[in-house]
Structure 1
Amino acid sequence: MTEQTAHNPIAAILDATTRYLATVAAMTDDELRAPSLLPGWSRGHVVAHVGNHAQGLARALRGLRTETPMPIYDSPEARDAEIEARSGGSAEDLAMFSQFASLRLAGELNLMRAFGSVERTPGGPVFSMVDLVEARWREVEIHHADLGLAYGPADWPADFAGYLLSEAANDRAEEVQLTLHAQDIGKTVRVGRGGHGVAGTAGALAWWLVGRGDGSDLVSTRPLPTLGEWTRRTPVK
């Protein structure tokens, strides 16, 4: 586990999920139909995706535990189709599905083996147990903020904000050269070899690095570079 998740990674996911589910349970049908912060996706799409990921990950972990390997998703096309089909459900239906899928995943996480790997799709990227735990943490916290409601990067726990800042800086290392100063947690992170300074909270810096924020809440000694789409560099083993 990374330094940030080594203390209790499962507890971090469960805490994040509790906050996320509270937001989902309070949403109305009209709020679900409204656009999320992700281009082309309504909030219903985001909620459907987070729930489907929980359900698929639970299936994969159960397959690992019972020695009957299963991928997280049957195929990229099946993943997309399931999100689209479920996104139009009512607020009540999506809240119930989210709760069920999260409970199922929580059970499998608590029974999770320390070793092994899982395919995202048949023949696709392979994830270790560390990858899976950290990926779920990112899914819940980032997509909670993507809903564009009362929860945002300023509400992320400090350990998650610091973790995501380091991960996203590594992901951008071949794209830009920056030195980031997370003033709220006293952490400095280099992107690539390091470069001109950019300061802000850990959450604001990480949010910008993952391609969400425009960086208007950051302080930079030079104009901020334009970032491309966020792509993970390190999940495949």
Structure 2
Amino acid sequence: MPVPRPDPRALALLPGASQRLVRTVDGLADRDWKEDSGLPGWSRAHVVAHLALNAEGLTDALTGVTAGEPAPMYRSPEARDEDIAELATAAPGHLRDRLLGAITRFDDALGAVPDDAWHTTLERTPGGRTFVAAEVVDMRLREVEIHHADLAASYSWSDWGDEFALLLVEALLPRVDGTTALVAVASDLDRSWTIGDGGPTVTGPAAALGWWLTGRGDGAGLTSEGGRPPRIGAW
């Protein structure tokens, strides 16, 4: 069986996605940080804190892979939430520096993983959900692009390129609730996917499909047989 490797499409897209995120964060005025984000209960500072801590957690996991001592991303679900809440209270300058430093260290850790170690199984939290090291790039790309849009600043899902939108739809459609059946049609990419047996056909640009599949928005840009697209649980 071949050793899994990071998706080359995600590897190519991640640097640009990270750079765009940093530019948006650098452009926030101090008064903007406490404003509401697109995520209920989270300010923009919470979103940036999460993005920094996510990169740090993935860096710790990859560093463990390289050392032959796999480590979880987070100590516990509660510790993850507490760390985000605490870091969100930091000054904007500290948050900017923390995010940039985390992105840089993540890139370094990613480049150090041996070719024969991408199959290593990792834990999100001890005893929690698992994933293999090769999935980390896709995971980080989704975090960056989706939460960049969640900042509700100068970037939205409509700015996603076709390549990322396609990767997102491919990743999220298999996670749709097993009781939901549908056909998703990316009208701009001439692609379609069938989930379950039958169900409505939901049609629209791939980026709009991706945003809807994260459980966000109201299905803007999409059409659905019989009315509004089915409700999708938040990602």
Structure 1 and Structure 2 fold alike (TM over 0.5):
yes
**Deviations, residues 85-104 of structure 1 (Å, cap 9, x unaligned):** 01122222111110000000
* Pair 1:143-2:147 in alignment: yes
Q: Is 1:120 matched with 2:121?
A: no
- 1:127 is displaced (CA, Å) by 1.3
**CA–CA distance in 2 between the matches of 1:119 and 1:54?**
15
Q: Is the 8 A contact 1:200 1:217 kept in 2?
A: yes
Q: Distance in 1 between matches of 2:172 and 2:147?
A: 15
How does the TM-score come out when normalised to structure 2?
Answer: 0.90
Measure the CA separation in 2 of the matches of 1:84 and 1:132: 24
- Using the alignment, how far apart are the partners of 1:13 and 1:163 within structure 2? 12
Give the equivalent residue in structure 2 for 1:234.
none
Q: Secondary structure at the match of 1:33?
A: coil
**TM-score, length basis structure 1:** 0.89
Q: Is the 8 A contact 2:169 2:210 kept in 1?
A: yes
Gaps of 5+ in 1: 232-237
User: Match of 2:199?
Assistant: 195
| 2:97 matches 1:96 | yes
Give the counterpart letter for 1:193 in structure 2.
D
Q: CA deviation at 1:191?
A: 2.6
- How many residues align? The count is 228
Question: Are the counterparts in 2 of residues 60 and 71 from structure 1 also a CA contact under 8 Å?
Answer: yes
In structure 2, the residue matched to 1:129 is 133
Give 1:216 deviation, angstroms. Answer: 2.9
Give the 3 Å change call, closer, same or farther, for CA 8–169 of structure 1 in structure 2: closer
**2:56 aligns to what?**
55
Counterpart CA distance in 2 for 1:62 and 1:223 is 48
List alignment gaps of at least 5 residues for structure 2: none
Aligned residue in 2 for 1:185: 189
Deviations 1:203-234 (A, max 9, x none): 11111111111013212221124424235xxx
Report the Cα distance in structure 2 between the residues aligned to 1:173 and 1:189, rounded to whole angstroms: 15
Cα displacement (A) at 1:188: 1.1
The corresponding residue for 1:218 is 222
* Residue 10 of structure 1, CA deviation: 2.5
CA RMSD of aligned residues (A): 1.8
Q: Counterpart of 2:233?
A: 229
In percent, how many aligned pairs have the same letter? 37
- Gap change, CA 1:167 and 1:173, over 3 Å in 2: farther
